[in-house]
Structure 1
Amino acid sequence: MGLTGWYLHHHGAGHLTRFRAVRPHLPGEVVVFSSLPEPAPRPAGTTWVHLDRDNDRPPGAPDPADADPTAGGLLHWAPLGHGGHARRLAAIAGAIAARRFDRFVVDVSVEVALLVRLLGVPTVVVTQPGDRNDPPHRLAYATAARVLAPWPAGVHRSPATHLVEVGGISRFDGRTRAVEPDPGTVLVLGGGVPDEDLAGAAAATPGIRWQYAGRSASTWIEDPWEALQRAEVVVTAAGQNSVADIAAAGARAVVVPQPRPFDEQAATGRILTERRLAVVEPSWPDDQAWPGLLDRARALRPDWAQWRVSGAAQRAAAAIAEVVA
């Protein structure tokens, strides 16, 4: 099997969650490079290399966003004169110089994908929904041995030529439903919604019990599988992991895509609407809209099997393992 490198972007928890779903199915040793803290417990056979941040602003230093980070539109993030950016790429290059890597998964960074390929290691680039036809994305995809798409075949358009669409990758794949939905229960996944908006929605729906998961340390649920099953309706953004998780649970949902670069979540929202998988709202609804939205969600009979969650993590691991230097 050899040695696999894996770069994890530090924005949000989704990249790490996806890695933890795929890693048990990937044989051999894996070295992870990330600015994220090392998870506990760390998966067996996995080494964690902590990288400096590439977007911090030390006192007195210029804003990296003003330091030509796109190199005239050819890259996404390579700010001039930023020490953290230089050290993180140097750490990856040093590791590749010291050991033979057979493949390197990049989730996600155009700059890391190009660096690794320039150093002679084949890359498996994880793609995301939305419009990825810009020059940096197209270059990263063109140099990749595989482009891994965590969605079912034909859902999103992609400029990648070596695309492998494995289905929605969920940490709950393989689990079975143990409880039935509890009428009158709404579960809100993740953060990003102001407290006053949540309070307004709850006030407008008397008799409905609103539960929050992941908004803060006090509402964090390490394993929300039971909460997902018990919820009559799940309210969530349109992130890849969130959609895969509600698909795994067979949940009825109200999905509110959050603003993301490249129209990422909006693109997923359009697919969910077209396939009648969820009630999708372009932005957080007004308070008075919530009774009707919950009624519409309850009436759904979503065919989540089409999201191909079952076996997606295994298919992703198999696609990665096929790549050998």
Structure 2
Amino acid sequence: MVIGWYVHHHGYGHVARFLAVTPHLRTPVVAFSSMPRPAGLAADVDWIRLPPDADDYTRPDGSPADPRDADPTVRGHLHWAPLDHPGHRARLASIASTAAERSLTAFVVDVSVEVVVFARLLGLRTLAMTQPGARIDAPHALAYDLADGILAPWARGAVSAEALGARTDRVVWTGGISRFDGRERVGARDERSVLLLGRVLDDDVREDLSRRLRARGWAVTSAGHDAASRIDDPWPLLTRSTVVVSAAGQNSVADLAAADARAVVLAQDRPFGEQHDTAETLERWGLARRADSRTDAATLVDLVERAAQDAPEWSRWQTAGAAGRMAAAIDAVHP
């Protein structure tokens, strides 16, 4: 028995989740992604690089084409299936040929409506990763209806997910998946230190915020806002900073939970309002202060100073053991 796993190439969150869960699986895995093989992936995990399907291409008649103009949604029934695109066709062909050659029995899809549909048509037991936000459109409904199981990487009841309401018999809420789950803290928390993590603010706002905070006696560290500031292991900064200013993506929030961080989360504009829904929950549960990319520096200073006095109960996000719970749900899909 072998599991296939589709890893979406946008951002780092999907591959981070894959890296966190795969060490807990009892079943061999073959991964498919447009991303290059990630560093640190176990040598016994196969990684099949898929060609891109969103670049300009040449139609069979020789004319140039933009995939956005090639009926990619099939009149609203799918999200992305551009006509005549050789990369799109080659991606699905690679999945199909590997499924036959390696005798795949199950397929985890994180995330793609089209791959869920295709995997199920191949006769594979299919698990669809879901995300927060208003995913009530026809393509999402199709994917959730066809999936044999739906994986929700947050605590049950945390995020309003209308699309899952009629399908709860097939949903597994695992809790937030963090690569840092179970890792020991690095030193005591500093006093009056702020970590600005990731590219969550425009440069001018970030610089203005840093100046204002320093003027009020805060030490400020910025990490991950550009290639030069990228760090491979933010864990020491996460655990030692008084307050962390971060995006409200699922992996970012799970990392905050693992670090027991006091936080200000800035909801980034993403499809279906994903991060805004998550930030709303965090505020409602008293886990973090909420802002967004349009919040000005003066307001953010106030939020940081308020967050420094918080005592969030991050155990509610159920990050501890979440990767193992997701792995168990995936292993259980086999006959």
Alignment TM class, shorter chain as reference: over 0.9
Which of 140, 144, 147 does residue 147 from structure 2 map onto? 144
Name the CA distance, whole Å, in 2 between partners of 1:284 and 1:188. 16
For residue 58 of structure 1, report the CA deviation from its aligned partner. Answer: 4.4
Match of 1:282 among 287, 292, 295: 292
C-alpha contact (below 8 Å) 1:204/1:290 kept by paired residues: no
**Normalising by structure 2, what TM-score?**
0.93
Cα distance in 2, alignment partners of residues 18 and 90 from structure 1? 25
Aligned to 1:95: 98
**Does the 8 Å CA contact 2:111/2:130 hold for their aligned counterparts?**
yes
Offset at residue 287 of structure 1 (A): 2.2
Determine the structure 2 residue equivalent to 1:261.
Answer: 271
5 Å-filtered alignment, 1:47-196, equals 47-58=46-57, 61-156=64-159, 157-160=161-164, 161=167, 162-196=170-204
Which 5+ residue runs of structure 1 have no aligned equivalent? none
Name the structure 2 match of 1:209: 219
How far has the Cα of 1:93 moved from its partner?
Answer: 1.1
Task: Tell me the equivalent position of 2:39.
Answer: 40
**Unmatched 5+ stretches in structure 2:** none
Cα offsets for 1:195-220 (capped at 9, x unmatched): 11110111122232221222223211
Change (3 A) 1:52 1:192: farther
How many residue pairs match? The answer is 324
Amino acid corresponding to residue 242 of structure 2 in structure 1: E
Q: Which amino acid aligns with 1:251?
A: A
Quickly say closer, same or farther: Cα 1:300–1:192, change in 2 above 3 A: closer
Q: Deviation per CA, 1:56-110, whole angstroms, max 9, x where unpaired?
A: 1248732211211110110011111211111111111111122211211000000
In structure 1, the residue corresponding to 2:187 is in which secondary structure?
coil
Structure 1 residues 124-150: Cα deviation after superposition (integer angstroms, max 9, x where no partner): 110000111111111111111110000
* C-alpha distance in structure 1 between counterparts of 2:203 and 2:77, whole Å: 39
CA contact (8 A) 1:256 1:280 kept: yes
Tell me if structure 1 keeps the 8 A contact 2:19–2:41.
Answer: no
Is this contact kept in 1: 2:199–2:225, CA < 8 A?
yes
Aligned to 2:29: 30
**Identity percentage of aligned residues:** 49
Distance (Å, rounded) in 2 between the aligned partners of 1:179 and 1:202: 24
| Residue in 2 that maps onto 1:236 | 246
Greater CA drift, 81-90 or 106-115 = 81-90
Query: How many Å separate the matches in 1 of 2:162 and 2:44?
Result: 33
List per-residue Cα deviations over 1:206-249 (Å, max 9, x = no partner). Answer: 23222122222321111111110111110011100000000000
Q: Which amino acid aligns with 1:220?
A: R
1:184 and 1:210 map into 2 onto residues whose CA distance is 9
- When the two chains are superposed, the root-mean-square deviation of aligned CA atoms in Å is 1.4
TM-score scaled to structure 1, two decimals?
A: 0.96
Q: What secondary structure does 1:92 align onto?
A: helix
Query: Is 1:300 aligned to residue 310 of structure 2?
Result: yes
* Displacement of 1:288: 2.0
Q: Structure 2: how far apart are the matches of 1:291 and 1:6?
A: 42
Q: Which amino acid aligns with 1:131?
A: A
Distance 2:257 2:288 in 1: 10
